[in-house]
Amino acid sequence: MDAREERSDRSNVLRQEWPYLSVEGSAYELGYQHGAQASHLIDKYLLWIDRMTGKSRDELCRNAMAFLPLMERLSPQYVEEVRGLAEGAGISFEEAVLCQARGEAAKVGDEACTAFAMTGKATKDGATLAGQNQDLAPDYADFALLLHVKPTDGRPQALLFTFAGQLGYSGMNEHGVAHFANALYDCPWKMGLPHYPIKRVCLEKQDVAGISEVLDTHHTCSAGNMVICSGDGEIADFEIRPEGAERYTGADPDCIIHANHYESEVYSDHETNSLADSCPRADRMRSLVTEQYGEVSVETMKVILADHDGDPAAICRHGAEEMISVSGYIADATNRVLHVRKGHGCTGTWTAYEV
């Protein structure tokens, strides 16, 4: 292969998009269609969970089933979708539940991520935007996909970036409600809900108040941060621990930047600088946003999410050994468009999806 052919081949790879699944119907039908369309990726995901955790499938499934009563309390429809998933994918119900509690069943799970939400005075024409770079171990890209759910039971349509067999992760719904996540550290595990079912149920809400109610009612077993925007122009951030969710507002009501350290007044004492590059990444994003303040757009954020200041653990985490920017998202809540990137911020390809 000569240099020109090599460049062409590389260009074709970069234009590739994440696998896209569209499912429609009742909760069971949503799960069944998901399982049937992605069965090979679901098998791959389960095998990776085995390898990543070093635990047997039987042990992982037993651990995961302990969370089932909490999932049922959160959403019977979610559990029904899990049942459909198992049937469609040809796996056991216990394995389908494990896909919803992968990290919790093994009590492992590290990630980075730099997230934002902006509206009003911060953005061009007052648009409401939110998003992040998704920083994970490179293996996650092997079973990642876009899941477009279209329930026929009155719940809103939503588009999620997730992993085959996992029904909840980041995304946006037809009301413009979007949420993105950052890992938080320095938190002992306690019995509570996995984050993924909560993330999915949050995408069934019409506003930030609806999400806040979910987080207040259903506590998690580990820590995490959620950056949120809505189609009515509201933005919010919640730092979540087993003891509850605390809202972080920051100094600017129109701009929220969050990485992997505690910012809220209530939880800031828990911070021990476990991920040393977190503060520099957040500070760098704030600086770049400040330079464009009042004119920030989708295209502005694509450039910021490609920033390499502080390599290799920069906003664009390209070259770090254990976690890289596998993907990126920008939710244009005003126009109900979710922009999704496959690959690094500096080299990946963006695709726009109407929700």
Q: What is the per-residue pLDDT across 185-234, written as a single tens digit (0 to 9) for each?
A: 999 989 999 999 999 999 999 999 999 999 999 999 999 999 999 999 99
| Residue environment code for 88-113, b if the CB has 16+ CB neighbours within 10 A, otherwise e | bbebebbbbbbbbbbbbbbeebebbb
Positive or negative, the CA dihedral 41, 43, 46, 52 is: negative
- Name residue, tokens 């994003």: 285
Looking at the predicted structure, is the pLDDT value of residue 14 above 80? no
pLDDT in tens, 296-326: 999 999 999 999 999 988 999 987 777 899 9
When mean pLDDT is compared over 9-13, 111-115, 281-285, the highest value belongs to 281-285
**Mean pLDDT in the chain?**
93
User: Angle at CA 299, nearest 5°, toward 297 and 304?
Assistant: 95
Instruction: State the pTM of this model.
Output: 0.93
Residues 331 and 178: beta-carbon distance below 8 Å = yes
What stretches of 152-252 adopt beta strand conformation (E)?
158-163, 170-173, 178-183, 224-229, 235-241, 244-247
Q: Which two tokens stand for residue 149?
A: 């759910």
pLDDT in tens, 131-147: 999 999 999 999 999 99
Q: Which two tokens stand for residue 42?
A: 């679901």
How far is 287 from 335, CA to CA, in rounded Å?
26
Quote the pLDDT of residue 106.
63
pLDDT in tens, 326-340: 999 999 999 999 999
Quote the pLDDT of residue 107.
60
Looking at the predicted structure, is the pLDDT value of residue 3 above 60? no
Q: Which amino acid is at 338?
A: L
Domains observed in the chain: 3-106 (1.10.439), 114-354 (3.60.60.10)
Task: Read off the pLDDT of each residue in 116-137 and give the average, rounded to a whole number.
Answer: 97
pLDDT in tens, 37-60: 999 999 999 999 999 889 999 999
Looking at the predicted structure, is the pLDDT value of residue 127 above 60? yes
Three-state DSSP state, 227: strand
The H or E element spanning position 260 is: none
Range name among 12-26, 132-146, 163-177, 203-217 with the lowest pLDDT average: 12-26
How far is 352 from 355, CA to CA, in rounded Å?
10
How far is 351 from 345, CA to CA, in rounded Å?
13
Higher pLDDT among residues 106 and 99, named by residue? 99
